[in-house]
Each structure stands twice: as structure tokens, then as C-alpha cells.
Amino acid sequence: MLAPSGIHHVTAIASDPQRNIDFYAGVLGLRLVKRTVNFDDPTTYHFYFGDEIGRPGSLLTFFPWPNARRGRQGAGQAAVVSFGIVPSSVGFWLERLLKHGIEFEQPVTRFDGERVIALKDPDGLLLELISHQRVDQLEPVVDTGSEALVPAAHGIRGVYSVTLWQDGHQQTAELLTGSLGFKLAREQGSIFRYTSNDGSPGSIVDLRIVPGLWPGVSGAGTVHHVAFRADSIATQSRVRSDLEALGFNVTPPLDRDYFMSVYFREPGGVLFEIATDGPGFSIDEPAEALGRSLMLPPWLEPRRFEIQALLPNIHLPLNLPGPNA
């Protein structure tokens, strides 16, 4: 069983790379901590948004395939990604979303007094901003440089939770509680909440039962996979062996430069990953320069000129119009 530490990162699919950066680094004010490529498709970017050094639990990453067809949320997907904000920032975010023309739903109250603002990114990915007093303990996930677009006091505090949409819950629940270190915290209607690490932000998985809903279709605006934390390669190896013993088809460990990964599909069809906490994003560029240059793994460096020629030009949104720009 994994130590109870929760979500490492969530990876989703986007279409236009610049629009993706403008929304997440611009409107939401997250820090682009790494610009690299999809190691399985080096002609496509892989963007990592996170805190100042890309700590596990702060990360939302994207494969932005230009002109990718729009996906569809449905059963068998991680359908919703939720970010944490402090309660005193709700008004700030309502105003900011309104001024930037981002459609959102008025805040509603959910589990344990959570205030939830639902919205979508430009590709239709379902997002939430969740305010709760437990978020106060976390550091802001914003670019704190001179070009910062969101004040640190109101900055997003990382991934709060993910919501899986499933036809049923029993087998997925057994995986979460048996191998991944979660426990059932509560049930509310069709939603079962599983937590690790005492239910702190970044350690929450909500399982929503949607019987009869159409199956999800992968594409722009959908989640590609959810990664859970392993504190070491030894822990990852042990969990991988446990999963294989349970009959899961688990990949060999794959070197992603910044962490080691293994992948498998959980019983409901969502692609899960077990990712190590280290070595981290500062192994190939200094912390103050994270996300400023295209970084390639050593085995792709001989192809740098070719890859750069094929990738779209991008820039950070230094002068995004709107509040706090």
C-alpha cells in the first residue's frame, strides 16, 4: 500500500499551446515550472504548471496537441480537476473570472463547508476552485516574480481533489483503499469521498457514480491520467508488485527525467500512474529559471534543432489584460 500522501499530478489534453499558457499562467496565475516535450511524441509540448519548484501535489500538466479534436466527459474518466483557494479569495476570483470573460457558476456549498466555483478552461476541461479553511496551510501556486499576474495572497494552492465519474464504485473503491492508501471519508448522494493524509488538500479523490451515462471520449478538454505519489523508487516498486499480484497490467518503470512512472488502468477505465516524488524539476535548470526554456531529456538533445523547428512558438503572458496584469 502507498504511504498516505495523495495526488502527485494530473495530466490533461489541450489543443492550442499558447491559449493553454494564457489561461493557466495568465488568467489563473500558475507558474509554468517546466516546458518540455511529450517523451512519447517529441513534436508535442508537455507543460507543467505548479508551485515555485513544482512540488508533487501542486502540478497540473498538459499535452497540447494543436488542432486536437474536442473530447467528451463521461463515465470512465477523471472528469473534474479542483484547485484549492483560501476562503478570503472567493471574491477576488469571482471578479477576476468575470473581468477575463470566463464563464463560471455561482459558488455552492458542498462537503464540510467547501465553497465551490465551477468553470471550464478554453478546451472545455471541467475545473473547480474550492475554498476551505484547510487550504490556508498550503503555499500559493503562483509565479512570484516581478511579472506575477495574481497576488500571492490570492494564489491557487495546488490541486485540491479530482473527481472520477464511474458506472459503479466497488472495484475502484477497493483499489483506492487497498493499494493506494486512501480511506472512505464520507458519502453524499452519488459521491463517495476518499482521502489520504488526513484529508488535506491534494489527497482527495471523489468518486461520482453516473450509471447509464455515455462513456467518456479522450480528446482536448479531458484528463489523460491521474498520478499518485510514491516517496521513493522502492515504494513504487513494492506497489507495482502488489498491483501485478492483483492482476493489473502495469507498465515497467519509465524514466520521465523529473520522476519515475508506472501506469495502469483502474477497474473503471481511468489511467492511473504511480510517480516518485523525486528527483524534481531543478535537476536541469535552476529554480529561478524554471519554465523559461525548452528542456529536453539527454536522449533527445541531438534532435533539438529538429524538434524546435516543429514546435509552435510560445511566450509567457507577461502583459495579459485584466486585473493585476
Residue 270 lies in a domain: yes
Inform me whether the pLDDT recorded for 158 exceeds 60: yes
Cβ partners under 8 Å of residue 149, min gap 6? 25, 26, 29, 142, 143, 317, 320, 324, 325
Helix (H) or strand (E) holding 225: strand 223-230
CATH, residue 180: 3.10.180.10
- What's the pLDDT tens digit per position in 255-300? 999 999 999 999 999 999 999 999 999 999 999 999 999 999 999 9
In the prediction, which pLDDT does 31 show? 93
In a domain, 323, yes or no: no
pLDDT of residue 199: 74
Residues β-bridged to residue 264: 272
pLDDT tens-place string over residues 172-181: 999 999 999 9
Which pLDDT value is given to residue 149? 84
What pLDDT sits at residue 141?
A: 67
Give residue-wise pLDDT tens across range 13-29.
999 999 999 999 999 99
Residue 2 lies in a domain: no
CA-to-CA dists, residue 141 to 98, 153, 229, 264, angstroms: 21, 10, 18, 29
pLDDT over 70 at 155, yes or no: yes
Residue with cell 501542486: 58
How many folded domains does the chain comprise?
A: 1
316 lies in some domain: no
pTM equals 0.95
Q: Tell me what the mean pLDDT of segment 216-236 comes to.
A: 97
Q: Which pLDDT score is estimated for 142?
A: 59
Q: What does the pLDDT look like over 129-154, one tens digit per residue?
A: 999 998 987 777 655 554 568 998 99
The contacts of residue 108 (CB under 8 Å, 6+ apart) are 115, 116, 118
**Among the residues of the chain, which ranges form H helices?**
17-21, 90-99, 170-178, 233-245, 304-310
Contact 196, 4 (CB under 8 A): yes
* Tens-digit pLDDT profile for residues 38-59: 999 999 999 999 988 999 999 9
What pLDDT, on a 0 to 100 scale, did the predictor assign at position 137?
Answer: 78
pLDDT at 4: 75
Distance of CA 152 to the CA centre of its chain: 20
Which residues are within 8 A (CB) of 110 and not within 5 positions of it... i.e. 6 or more apart? 116, 130, 188
Residue among 267, 292, 258, 289 at smallest CA distance from 75: 267
Q: What is the pLDDT of residue 181?
A: 94
Mean pLDDT, residues 162-175 taken together: 96
Rounded to whole angstroms, the Cα distance separating 194 from 9 reads 17
* 306-325 average pLDDT score: 74
Q: Which pLDDT does position 46 carry in this prediction? A: 98
Q: 86, 163, 92, 153: which is closest to 127 by C-alpha?
A: 163
Amino acid at 34: K
CA distance between the termini of the chain:
45
pLDDT in tens, 199-219: 788 999 999 999 999 999 999
- Angle CA 70–271–209, to nearest 5: 80
Asked whether 222 and 71 are in contact (CB, 8 A), the reply is yes
Question: Could you tell me if residue 325 is inside a domain?
Answer: no
pLDDT of residue 146: 42
Determine the pLDDT at residue 323.
Answer: 34
C-alpha dist (Å) from residue 247 to 169, 242, 250, 269, 296? 18, 9, 9, 14, 35
Per the structure, the complete domain to which residue 91 belongs is given by 7-310
Whether residue 85 has pLDDT greater than 90: yes
Q: Is residue 131 part of a domain?
A: yes
Q: Residue 324: what pLDDT?
A: 34
- Name the pLDDT band for 318 (thresholds 50, 70, 90): low
Q: What is the mean pLDDT of residues 302-314?
A: 97
Question: Residue 151 domain-assigned?
Answer: yes
Kindly state whether residue 25 falls inside one of the protein's structural domains.
yes
